[in-house]
Structures are given as C-alpha cells and as structure tokens.
Amino acid sequence: MNWATLNLMPALPELFLLSAVLVLLVIDMLLDDERRGVLYGLSLATLAGCAAMQYLAWTPVPVETFQKMFVADPLSGVIKFFLYGVTAAVLIYTRQYVADRQMFKGEYFTLTLFALLGMNVMVSASHFMTLYIGLELLSLALYALIALRRDSVPATEAAMKYFVLGALASGLLLYGMSMVYGATGSLDIATIARVIASGNGNTVLLVFGLVFLVAGLCFKLGAVPFHMWVPDVYQGAPTAITLMIGSAPKLAAFVFLTRILGQGMEALLSQWQGMLMIVAVLSMALGNLTAIVQTNIKRMLAYSTISHMGFLLVGFLTGNAEGMSSAMYYAIIYVLMSLAAFGVLLALSRAGFECEKVADLKGLNQRNSWYAFLMLLAMFSMAGIPPLAGFYAKFAVIRAAANAGMVPLAVFAVLMSLIGAFYYLRVVKAMYFDDAEEDAAIEVRADMRLVLSLNGLALLALGVLPQQLVALCMTAVKQSLTSL
Amino acid sequence: MSFTTVVFYILSAILLLAAFRVITAKNPVHAALFLVLSFFTASGLWMLLESEFLAISLVLVYVGAVMVLFLFVVMMLDIDIEKLREGFWKNFPLAGTIAIIMAGEMALILGSPEAGLHTYPARAPLSADFSNVRELGVLMYTRYMYATELASVVLLLAIVAAIALTQRQRKDSKAMNVSEQVAVRAVDRVRIVKMAAAPVDTAATDEDQPQA
Amino acid sequence: MELLQSYLGTQLGYVIWTLLKIVVIVAPMMLAVAYLTYAERKVIGYMQVRIGPNRVGPLGLLQPIADGIKLLMKEIILPAKSSKGLFLLAPILSIMPALAAWAVVPFTDHLVLANTNASLLYIMAITSMGVYGVIIAGWAGNSKYSFLGGMRSAAQIVSYEIAMGFALVGVLMVSGSLNLVEIVKQQGHGFAGGSILSWNWLPLFPLFLVYLISGVAETNRAPFDVAEGESEIVAGFHVEYSGMAFAIFFLAEYANMILVSAMTSLMFLGGWLSPFPASWGWLGAGSFFWMAAKMSFVLFCFLWFRATFPRYRYDQIMRLGWKVFIPVTLVWVVVLGAWMMSPVSLWN
C-alpha cells in the first residue's frame, strides 16, 4: 500500500468525527457529573465541524477511495448534511429529557456520535463489507442507547427485542450478500452491477440472494411483514431515544437501500420491484389501519412510521431517477416531521412525567398555543395536508409511481393516506377541542424552543416552496447513480 | 468418496446435530456446551478448507474465551426453562410450517441444476509453503484497511456500550466502601447542637411524679 | 517408517508410525508427571526443612508409583443428582488439551511430531480449551464448593489468557512467524551473535515475566490456586472426584505445568539453543539436553513459587490480571513496535 495514493480527502468528515469521538471519550473521563454540559457543547461543535468538513470535501461527481470501499458522491454528501443537522437537533431536543432521567452521561453523547459515524459509513459505502460494518456500528450504538436507562424495564425489553430482531435481520442480509458474492464473485457494488448487467452472474443464485437482501433491508426499514419490532421499540425506548431511532437512521436506511438495490442490483429491477411492491402495499395498509386504534402516541407514531416507509418504497420501487429522488425527498421530509412530533412530546415531558398518551396532549392549545401549533404542523404534514411538506412528499412519490405506469399502486397509496389522516386529526382534535386535564407549566430550554420552532416552520416552508430541495435530490440521485 | 469427503460429512453431521441440540436442550448449560461442540466442528470444516488460521481463531476466540464467559453466566443464572417455553407449543404449528416450507424452498432452489452449484470448480489445493496468516494479514492491512479500521471502531463502541450499561450504582447493592468507613470523621456522623439552657419547670415535673 | 510401510501398506503404515511417535512423546510425559510430583514434594520438603517422601523405595523414589496404584484401585464415586455424563467428561476434557498440545512442541529443530506453520496459534487454541474441564467439573458435581471453584477458575483463566496472548504477540512481532521452530531459530542470531543475551527473555523482559506469571495462573498453581483453595472451598472444582477421575485432573495439571515450562523455554529462553559458544563441543551445540534443562528450571520456579508465596486473594488476582498485566503487555507491544522500526532495532 502506498500512502501517497491514498486519498483521505473524501473521508475527511468521517475522520474528523472519529477523532472527535475519541477526544470526547477522554474528556468525559476527566469531567465530574456537574460539568457534563461541556460534552453537550462539544458534541454540537463536533457536528458543526463535521458539516464544515463535509463542505470542504464536497464533490459534484463520485470519488472513490480506500481501495474502492468508500465513495463520496452528491447523494452521500446531501444526506450527510442532513444527518449532521438532524443529530444536532436530536441532541438539542433531548438535552433536558435525558438530564431529568439520569441518562445525562458522557456515553449518551459518544454513543450518539458513534451511531452517526455508523450512518456516515453506510451512506458512503461502495462495498458490501463496509455497508454491513456501518450498519452494525449504527445498530450496536442504538441498542446500547435504548438500554442506557438500565432501571427501566420497558427500555431494557425494547433493547432486547431490537437486538434479537436486529441480529436476525443482519443474518438475513449477510446470507443474501454471501449468495450475491457466490453468483458474481465480488462484494464491490460497482463490480456486482457490472457482472449482473453483463449477464455472467448466475441468475437463480442472484435472485435467491436478492430475496434475503430485500428481507433484511425491510427489517431495517421496519416495513411489513418485518415490522414487529418497530411499535415495541418505539414505545419501550425512552422518548429521547425513540426520536433518535425514528429520525436520522431512516435517512441512512434509504441510502442503504439505494446502494444495494438501486446501484448494485439495478439490472434486477424487474425482480425486486415486485417484492417491494408487496411490502409497500402491506406497510401502508397495516401501518395506517393499526395506528387508528392506538392510544399511546409513541406507538401510534411507530405505526405511522411503518406506513411512511411504505410510501417511501412506492417512490423507490419505480427504479427511475424521478422515483428515487422523490423517495429521497420523502425520507428527508419524514425525518423532519418525526423530529417535530417527537420534539413536542419531549418538550411536554418533564422529570417524573412521560408525555406518551394521546390523552396527555388534551387541551394543549390552552396550555401553550405555540407548541400546539407546532404539533399541528407536524400532524398535518404527516397526514399529507397541503400546503405542508408532507403533502408535497406524498404527491411526489405517488406521481412518480403513476408516471412509471403503476396506477393501481398510486391509487392505493392515495386511499391509504386518506385513512391515515384520521388518526393524525385525532391528535389535533385532542389538542384543540378537548379540555386540558392538567396545567403544569411547560418549561423548555431556549435553544430547544428556537430549533423546534424552526423545525416546525421548515415543514411549512418546504411545503410552500419545495422546488429547491426537490431539485437538490434530483441532482444528487442523478449524479450519484450514473446508470440512471 | 475420498477421505476428506467422509470427514466433511461426519463433521457436518455432528455440527447440525449439535446446533439442533443447542435449541432443544432442556438445560441451558448443556445447550451452551453443545454450542461449543458446534463451534469446534465448524472449525474442523474450516480446517478441511485449509484455512487453518480461521479455524484456530474460531477455537481460540469463541471456544476459548466467548463461550467460557457465556457458560460462566449461564451457570450462575437460575432459569426456569419450562416457564420460558410456555408459549412454545401454541406458536409451534405455524412457525414450524413456515420453517419447513422455507427450508424446503431453499433446498429446492439451491439443489436445482439451474442454481449451478455443480459448475463451481473444486478449489485447487494450496502449496505447502502457503501461509494463511501472511495472506490474511497482507489483505487486511492493504486492500481491506478501511474495513479493518472500521471493525476496530465497532469493537471500541462495544467496549463503551458495555461499560455504559454495566457501570452504575446498583440500587439494591448493600456493598460497603471500607475506605470510606475508615476515613469517616466524628463531625460527619455526630452533630452537636448548642441549645440555650431552658429553666426546668420543677412544679410541672413534680405534679407528673406519682406521690411516693 | 519405510519398514512399517513395506509391511502394512502406505496408509496404514503412516498411521501406525504416527501413533508410535505419539506414544514416544506421551509415555515419557506421564513418567515426567509422576516424578514431577515426587520432585515437588522433595523440593518443598527441603525448603521447609523436612526431607519429603523417603519410605517407598530408595530415597522414596517409588512413591509416585505407589500413589498411582492406590488411585487406580480406588472407586470413582458418582455424586447423587450430579450430571453423570458431564461429570465423567470433565476429566477427559481437562487431560485431552494438555496432551494434544504436545503435537506441535519441538524438542529440537527436527524432533517434532507436526511442524506446522501455525503451531503457536494451535497451542493457544488447544490450551484455552483446558478450562472446560475445570468449569464442567465444578458444575457437574452439583456441589457448592466445586461450583465456586469452577467459577473462580473460569474467570481467572479467561483474564490471564488475554495477558498471555499479548505477551506472545511480542514474540510473534520479533520472530515474524507462528512456527515454534522458527521462533527458536530466530533467537539463535541477533544481538551478541546468538548467545544467551539474544534470547527473547532479555529484550522482551516484561513480556517474559508476564508470560511466566500468567502461566502459573493458567495452570491454577499456587499462588493462584483459588480454584482449589483448600482452606476456603475444600478442594474447589475436584472436591467430588475420587480415584482415577481425580488422578486425571492431577495428571492434567502437571502436564500443563510441563507444557507451560516448555513454551516458556521455547518462546523466551531459546529452546534447545545452548548458552555457550559453539566452540565448546557438545555443550555449545543446541540439543535436547538444553531444552530439558530450561524446562526443569522453569518447573523448579513453579515449585519454588508454591513454597514461597501465600495464596492471592481473589480480587487481587483479578486486579493483577486486568490492571497490571494487560496494560504492561499493551505498552510493551507498542514500545516494541517502535523499537523494531527504529534504527536501533535488534531484529533486522
């Protein structure tokens, strides 16, 4: 290996992040409990630094390094910017919540940053091996984060469930990858795509492996019929961690999907399109219908996540640039929406009280009309009501499906989004038309108030003016997936 | 059938049997020991493929270290296995049917001529001076350097996570810190309160006293 | 070998020949074990100003034989409510690795049963299995004392195996091979032209110490014998064993001691190499004599430790393993790496 030929520039953000995590680990050791707040500041500074490095390392065309195991392209660049922003928002939103629940330890920050590193690795992987290691890095950090509150039985149970099913999903993925390796003789995504396109791969083995890959991916996305872990984990984990699981990792999972199916198995589109279609239909149906009967808002949002993943897949499975970019847009908007929704829940929780029932939101408008309005924005956006961002996102994926000739699927998606609107509106009704059952003051740190407000308003702004972000997604997908 | 083929089938049979016993054994300690056996036979299979480094590492890491810790924990636990199995037979018919269908399908696909498994050529035997260790080392630190470094990050994360999850003050712990107890000073334990001396109401006391 | 093959055919002849070689290694080993117990009692006896065994045979020389016969005659008691199969499997699991490891141990540069490329790894893997005998014995007997002994042993062996492994990493780094013959040969040249000073014990002194002490801990010998700890838990993991089953544990323990002494000699003390210049005739040439002498020295140290040191407390053992040995070896491995890359490297 020749060091001179090793181009570290594309991996600059990852290198910075890893070094920062190591430094944080050491600093954490030297701090006493009263001064843990320093780590909070340093973590946010790290994220800002990562964003700056990402700006420096920006590349309009794909650049590979580390012997073609790492790729920096516009797709990964855009997603990584959002990852940093979302992680920063997560840290800001959860600051008070974790402090109230004895979770405000150095490990909370290092584990979060490790999870971010894992996502970065996944997003920038151009090799099955790095994809898998990135995924494990992310999952392992999340398992630990869920269980961080050791004395909470639901959290421990949720961590256990997530761990066991996550291991199963990893096993499926690895089995699928090994089949693909057997059929194509390579783990490198570009090589796999080339071998499949040239027709030299053994189709039976490839499709056999593809089934396991799709199953593993759906597990990670939380799409039906591999969704059983989602509601339990969302409900059992402390709300702060639920926010973390429900936000940034979905972006990474989208890229994961894109790298494996969109880039590596592009030539097998006809095969995985059908599988994903079944998954998407089931996810939208089961997610929306089951969410209606939930009284726990975290569980309801979990089922709503399942249905959102179904919508995302509707865009993705078209396999063309329009569909992929609409799915990417959907993923970004979904993350912003769940950030806002869980952010309000976190704002309403306080020491000794968890805001997790729909009933806990009753009369929120009387108590604090601004948070009620932010929640309203999030709920309307998730329901897909214009002019919010969620509407445009749903519109984009459904239009992509219709344009690709899948009109029945598009019609089904529209129907499902109508059904889904019901339970989101139920939350709105509780906030605006029911009387408050308690009148505890809502105390929120200033930084969280600011970011949460911006978050909610972004949903509105991106709904009114979606063009910029849509165009960005389109360029990113087109530049990165050169075969499209 | 050559000698290695016979060995392969014997090892595979033991491996499958042991793996099956891992999930069916009533006693968790027996299950753990069957897992050890399955690791051992798996390492034997690797040995047949002439990858002795991987075979020995498997024994060294899994059999020698991981499973010992595992047994250590399993032996300490007092698990009521019957209680764990309560819902087992209720779900068994459905789960069993699905498993059998899955296994059957997989066997049919992989066993069919279209899967082309028979077209893969047999591996050429390695030369006598081929060193697995050297080859692996060279690959790991050049071609797969990025993955190797990432794997080390995963290990670091595992350490951090394990410490974060285990290092805490248990609420039910009655352990005493001897050095703290020895270092205790009188002022920490006894507070001497200065009080203004109040005049004793002798009359009241007298009344309370029974007349002798 | 050719003779055997001409009578029995190529395949069978080869098998019989290998079996013969195994017997040639194992039989003296057993004898050595027997007389190691004798040596132990004598050495410790003299250290405690007694004379040790002196009744059976001249100077008590037949004592181990008498002990062996006695143990053979005794009944093997199976405790009620024990796990019978595992109870009987445990002694086998403890003796098997102790014997199997000898397959790759070279006694001189060509006197070795299997000269494989990964012999060091093989030994580490095989010896790491020895702990199962102890754990299973502790568990299967269904006795609290033996269970405590088994648990202690498991934790201790796993802890010290890490330090031991790291100590060996240092040896691997300087010799660049996993082959024991190569490792010894490498010590034959280098600093001061292959004299006693070029053996690994000097440049890798911290690792040598760590390895030796970890070796004592790995074999559950005093002062690390908390797994037996007769004053606390009666006899630890083998409290339920009697007769030949007990004798096999005994055999395994001493066979492991001899193995660790052989490994220490090979890895750090130059194996069969002679400490004297080559011009000194047979004294200067490498031979089995030197190997045996070095092994005897290490074994004597084992006995010496037992006679000298009081038993460690359990938390002290853990502290020593995790907080002293592992950091020491890690630091030394890093130092060694820097040393090897520096101009003053001894290993070019």
> Could you give the ipTM of this predicted complex?
0.91
pLDDT at A1: 47
What percent helix, strand, coil does chain A show, rounded to 5?
80, 5, 20
Q: Is the backbone of residue B85 left (phi > 0), alpha (psi -120 to 50) or beta?
A: alpha
Q: Is B74 an 8 Å CB contact of chain C?
A: no
What's the longest Cα–Cα distance across chain C? 67
Give the whole-angstrom CA distance, residue A255 versus residue A476: 12
pLDDT at A4: 60
pLDDT at B11: 92
Which residues are bridge partners to A296 per DSSP?
A357
Contact across the interface for B72 and C157, Cβ inside 8 Å: no
What is the per-residue DSSP string for A167-192? Answer: HHHHHHHHHHHHHHHHHHS--BHHHH
Dihedral in degrees, nearest 10, Cα atoms B25, B31, B36, B40 = 20
Is residue C157 over pLDDT 70? Answer: yes
User: Does residue C348 fall inside a structural domain?
Assistant: no
What are the sequence ranges of the domains in chain B?
1-79, 131-166
Report the share of chain C in percent with pLDDT over 70: 94
The arithmetic mean of pLDDT across residues C13-35, rounded, is 85
Dihedral in degrees, nearest 10, Cα atoms A226, A227, A232, A234 = 130
pLDDT at A214: 92
| Structure-model confidence comparison of residues A243 and C147, the more confident one | A243
Minimal Cα–Cα distance from A286 to chain B, Å? 21
pLDDT at B65: 81
Enumerate residues 6+ apart whose C-beta is below 8 A from C136: B33, C86, C89, C90, C93, C150
Is residue A2 over pLDDT 80? Answer: no
Mark which of C73, C94, C126 sits at the end of a domain.
Answer: C73
Q: Which of B30, B64, B133 sits opposite C129 (nearest CB)?
A: B64
Give the whole-angstrom CA distance, residue C271 versus residue C110: 12
Give the whole-angstrom CA distance, residue A313 versus residue A413: 11
Mean pLDDT lowest for which of A135-139, B3-7, C227-231? Answer: C227-231
pLDDT at C312: 83
Number of Cβ within a 10 Å radius of residue C59: 14
Strand, helix or coil for residue A72? strand
| Structure-model confidence comparison of residues C112 and B150, the more confident one | B150
Contact across the interface for B65 and C128, Cβ inside 8 Å: yes
Residues C98, C68 share a domain: no
Residues C106, C34 share a domain: no
**Residue with the two structure tokens 């006493």:** A32
Enumerate residues 6+ apart whose C-beta is below 8 A from C279: none
Residues C86, C69 share a domain: no
Task: Output the average pLDDT for chain C.
Answer: 83
pLDDT at A110: 92
pLDDT at A339: 92
Is residue A224 over pLDDT 80? Answer: yes
In this complex, the chains that touch B, judged by 3 or more CB pairs closer than 8 A, are A, C
Contact across the interface for B63 and C118, Cβ inside 8 Å: no
Optimal mutation site among B46, B60, B136, interface C, most CBs of chain C within 10 A: B60
pLDDT at B212: 47
- Evaluate whether A375 touches A338 at the Cβ level (below 8 Å): no
**Digit-coded pLDDT (tens) for C41-81:** 888 888 888 888 888 878 888 888 888 888 888 877 777 77
Task: Output the average pLDDT for chain B.
Answer: 82
Mark which of C39, C73, C107 sits at the end of a domain.
Answer: C73
Residues C205, C131 share a domain: yes
Nearest to B41 by CA among B23, B66, B70, B19: B19
Residues C131, C244 share a domain: yes
User: Model confidence at A65, in pLDDT bands (50, 70, 90)?
Assistant: confident
pLDDT at A142: 92
pLDDT at B41: 92
Query: Are 3 or more Cβ–Cβ pairs between A and C shorter than 8 Å?
Result: no
Is residue A285 over pLDDT 60? Answer: yes
User: Model confidence at B201, in pLDDT bands (50, 70, 90)?
Assistant: low
The arithmetic mean of pLDDT across residues B95-99, rounded, is 89
Nearest to C347 by CA among C200, C209, C169, C165: C200
User: Does residue C347 fall inside a structural domain?
Assistant: no
Nearest to B39 by CA among B70, B8, B23, B60: B60
User: Model confidence at B207, in pLDDT bands (50, 70, 90)?
Assistant: low
Residues C111, C64 share a domain: no
Number of Cβ within a 10 Å radius of residue C44: 17
- Evaluate whether A200 touches B116 at the Cβ level (below 8 Å): no
Angle, CA of C298, C312 and C259, to the nearest 5°: 25
pLDDT at C102: 87
User: Model confidence at A303, in pLDDT bands (50, 70, 90)?
Assistant: very high
Residues C288, C151 share a domain: yes
Dihedral in degrees, nearest 10, Cα atoms B141, B144, B147, B148 = -20
Q: Which residue of B has its CA nearest to A144?
A: B161
**Residue with the two structure tokens 């040439």:** C285
Is residue C188 over pLDDT 50? Answer: yes
Give the whole-angstrom CA distance, residue B63 versus residue A472: 52
Give the whole-angstrom CA distance, residue C107 versus residue A374: 79
Nearest to A117 by CA among A187, A55, A171, A43: A43
pLDDT at C321: 86
Give the whole-angstrom CA distance, residue A288 versus residue A291: 5
The arithmetic mean of pLDDT across residues A83-111, rounded, is 89
Residues C88, C4 share a domain: no
Q: Is B13 an 8 Å CB contact of chain C?
A: no
pLDDT at B205: 53
Give the whole-angstrom CA distance, residue A199 versus residue A183: 11
Is residue C10 over pLDDT 80? Answer: no
Q: Cβ contacts (< 8 Å) between B65 and chain C: which residues?
A: 128, 158, 161
Residues C87, C56 share a domain: no
Give the whole-angstrom CA distance, residue A407 versus residue C274: 87
Q: Which of A1, A137, A182 sits opposite B150 (nearest CB)?
A: A137
Name, of B6-15, C124-133, C196-205, the range with top average pLDDT: B6-15
The arithmetic mean of pLDDT across residues A325-341, rounded, is 92
Residues C47, C192 share a domain: no
Q: Is B63 an 8 Å CB contact of chain C?
A: yes
User: Does residue C30 fall inside a structural domain?
Assistant: yes
Residues C180, C51 share a domain: no
Strand, helix or coil for residue C135? helix
**In chain B, residues 49-88 whose CB comes closer than 8 Å to chain A:** none
**In chain B, residues 146-175 whose CB comes closer than 8 Å to chain A:** 146-147, 150-151, 153-154, 157-158, 160-161, 163-165, 168, 171
Residues C217, C159 share a domain: yes
- Evaluate whether A7 touches A63 at the Cβ level (below 8 Å): yes
pLDDT at A335: 94
Cα–Cα distance list, A13 to A37, A135, A140, B89 (Å): 24, 18, 21, 52
Is residue C316 over pLDDT 70? Answer: yes
Nearest to A301 by CA among A333, A345, A332: A345
| Residue B189 exposed, middle or buried by CB count within 10 Å (0-12, 13-18, 19+) | exposed
Number of domains observed in the structure of chain C: 2
Mark which of C58, C73, C88 sits at the end of a domain.
Answer: C73
Give the whole-angstrom CA distance, residue A178 versus residue A181: 5
The arithmetic mean of pLDDT across residues B116-131, rounded, is 73
Query: Span B1-79: which CATH code?
Result: 1.20.120.1200
In terms of residue numbers, what domain contains C8? 1-73
